[in-house]
Amino acid sequence: MGINSKILIIDFGSQYTQLIARKIRESKVYCEIYPYNSPLSKIKQYNANAIILSGGPSSVYDKNAPIISKDLFKLNVPFLGICYGMQIMAHLLGGEVKPAKNREYGHSKLEILRKSSLLKGCGKSSLVWMSHGDVIVKIPTGFKITAQTETCDTAAFEYPEKKFYGLQFHPEVVHTECGTDILNNFLFKISGVKGDWELEDFISDKVGEIRKKTGGAKAICALSGGVDSTVAAVITDRAIGGNLKCIFVDNGLLRESEAKSVMKYYKENLSLNVKSVNASALFLKELKGVTDPERKRKIIGRLFIKIFEKEAKKIKGVNFLVQGTLYPDVIESVKVFGASSVIKSHHNVGGLPKKLNLKLIEPLRELFKDEVRVIGKKLGIPEEIINRQPFPGPGLAIRIIGAVDKKNLDILRKADAIVTQEIKAAGLYDKIWQSFPVLVPVKTVGVMGDKRSYESVVAIRAVTSADGMTADFAKLDYDILRACSSRIISEIKGVNRVVYDITSKPPSTIEWE
């Protein structure tokens, strides 16, 4: 039960750090990510069974390089340094790192030079993924080189007596053929941890924790129809039942029949205590004539909070607020000098006000999205909620370019239903990140029957993505696009042209506003 073993990942700003964590959790070992500049006392307190030093974009000899205390290596636990993590190990323990003649990026052939418990299962030679500009030119005393590539003499090294290991390549990415074996060797053979962290245990632990924390007090939760808030509410409901009051704000910017069907699920399938507040008219009134995307977002966010507060105040004796915060929102992002920082915009309508003065319950704070989906399934949440494509908090308002009104919303809702039906019929709904139409109220000329038409444009946006941070347009079959186009034109009045958005992110964003 619970967490028996824990790995700590120290983050030096690599784009792959979260991937390391997910791979470790896939092996049923609990882990957390701390930024490199966390105080040593905090790291000690975490009491890790082993520590992994992530990669990062810096060079150890840079003036502003992210450096850790050398004392970290006195903790007497196994260490695995990956890429920059390996270089910092070499640098701090008496080795030397220098710029490489050629930057190595992409596939390389790894050749094992000597027996190593870390590299067991890799075969004499295998493909690995490299991404580095520096190399270790002198290894610290006590270390041995265990593998090389054509261009990198120190592709892996180790000091097994001290359980210090380093890899110049990335075992966490799929392109490293024996990456999972290597990570599992580090976890199970070298660090001796057990793969016994079960998501079922997680649920029952959380239920107990919430019960203890609330001690009979009430909690409120804003449900959005999305997977995160739903799973957070269902876990809390298991803990405190009738003391959880949920509020669903219908802002009138949802998809066709969405408010109704989501409420039905909440009440009938999940037996949640939920009140639906229809605030469509108010949202439409405040949005009238507003064309600026940021203003739209602000108005919607502010109104949502206002309505939620008003409803929350009607419930007496509430001390807690349940939120579906996920681990990627909690991890302190490491900003490294010289790194091309990833811009993550937090535009979550669920960010509720501090002035409510409620203590937070965030049952999903330690979880990644895929883990939340697994838990959701275990909790019996319907597939339709679990596998829903992401839907932005400001809803259809940011998919209508320019002013939002009832007429445009109705057009977009119909188009959305058609695109969703066609994508589902083609078996693609779960395979792509998002697929939706955007209403572009620019009129163009068409001909329908024998008559001239002069009507709006609908753009279809469909993207593949791993996390929404970057995306590529989906290479949809022409037949699917044709089906969407002909149905949209024939079934919806006010549209006479359909186009497909073929930009990736960057340079575009996924949503048009």
- Residue 477 CA to residue 489 CA, distance in Å, equals 19
One-letter amino acid at 249 equals V
| Binding to ligand XMP, residues 422-441 (CB under 6 A) | 434
Which one of the spans 75-83, 328-336, 343-351, 475-483 is the region binding ligand XMP (CB under 6 A)?
Answer: 343-351
What is the sign of the dihedral through the CA atoms of 124, 130, 135 and 136? negative
- Residue 109 CA to residue 125 CA, distance in Å, equals 6
Residue whose C-alpha is closest to residue 227's, from 401, 371, 131, 63: 371
348 binds ligand XMP, rule: CB under 6 A:
yes
Q: Which two tokens stand for residue 415?
A: 């188009």
Active site residue 170: yes
**Interface pick for ligand XMP out of 392, 396, 459, 461 (rule CB under 6 A):** 392
387 binds ligand XMP, rule: CB under 6 A:
no
Is the bond preceding 506 in cis, omega lying within 30 degrees of 0? yes
For tokens 């699917």, the residue is 480
Q: Output DSSP code: residue 315.
A: S
Neighbours of 144 (CB within 10 A): 13
| Binding to ligand XMP, residues 296-315 (CB under 6 A) | 297
- Residue 235 CA to residue 214 CA, distance in Å, equals 13
- Residue 6 CA to residue 108 CA, distance in Å, equals 31
Least separation in angstroms between CB 57 and ligand XMP: 23
Over the window 476 to 505, marking each residue x when it contacts ligand XMP by CB under 6 A and - when it does not, the resulting string is -----------------------------x
For tokens 């290479």, the residue is 475
| Ranges assigned E (strand) in 332-432 | 359-361
Which one of the spans 210-218, 377-385, 388-396, 485-493 is the region binding ligand XMP (CB under 6 A)?
Answer: 388-396
Nearest residue to ligand XMP by CB is 347
Which one of the spans 45-53, 146-154, 276-284, 386-394 is the region binding ligand XMP (CB under 6 A)?
Answer: 386-394
* Residue length of the chain: 513
Of the pair 228, 422, the CB lying nearest ligand XMP is at 228
Of the pair 176, 325, the CB lying nearest ligand XMP is at 325
Residue whose C-alpha is closest to residue 252's, from 443, 421, 400: 400
Residue whose C-alpha is closest to residue 242's, from 283, 214, 209, 202: 214
263 binds ligand XMP, rule: CB under 6 A:
no
- Residue 341 CA to residue 276 CA, distance in Å, equals 40
Of the pair 349, 381, the CB lying nearest ligand XMP is at 349
Of the pair 318, 412, the CB lying nearest ligand XMP is at 412
Residue whose C-alpha is closest to residue 384's, from 373, 395, 394, 392: 373
Q: Is 117 helix (H, G, I), strand (E, B) or coil?
A: coil
511 binds ligand XMP, rule: CB under 6 A:
yes
Which one of the spans 46-54, 135-143, 362-370, 385-393 is the region binding ligand XMP (CB under 6 A)?
Answer: 385-393
Active site residue 83: yes
**Interface pick for ligand XMP out of 160, 293, 446, 468 (rule CB under 6 A):** 468
Size, binding site for ligand XMP by CB under 6 A: 15
Which one of the spans 68-76, 89-97, 370-378, 392-400 is the region binding ligand XMP (CB under 6 A)?
Answer: 392-400
Of the pair 168, 434, the CB lying nearest ligand XMP is at 434
390 binds ligand XMP, rule: CB under 6 A:
yes
Neighbours of 359 (CB within 10 A): 11
208 binds ligand XMP, rule: CB under 6 A:
no
Active site residue 172: yes
Of the pair 167, 432, the CB lying nearest ligand XMP is at 432
406 binds ligand XMP, rule: CB under 6 A:
no
**Interface pick for ligand XMP out of 324, 394, 437, 441 (rule CB under 6 A):** 394
Rg (CA), the chain: 26
168 binds ligand XMP, rule: CB under 6 A:
no
Q: Which two tokens stand for residue 288?
A: 């009238």
| Angle at the Cα of 370 from the Cα atoms of 368 and 374, rounded to 5 degrees | 115
Q: Give CA separation, 361 vs 232, 239, 323, 325, 365, in Å.
A: 9, 12, 6, 9, 9
347 binds ligand XMP, rule: CB under 6 A:
yes
Of the pair 78, 392, the CB lying nearest ligand XMP is at 392
- Residue 507 CA to residue 73 CA, distance in Å, equals 42
List the catalytic residue out of 158, 172, 177, 422: 172
| Binding to ligand XMP, residues 4-33 (CB under 6 A) | none
Of the pair 45, 345, the CB lying nearest ligand XMP is at 345
Mind telling me the catalytic residues? 83, 170, 172
Catalog residues that contact ligand XMP under the rule CB under 6 A: 297, 345, 347-349, 390, 392-394, 434, 468, 505, 509-511
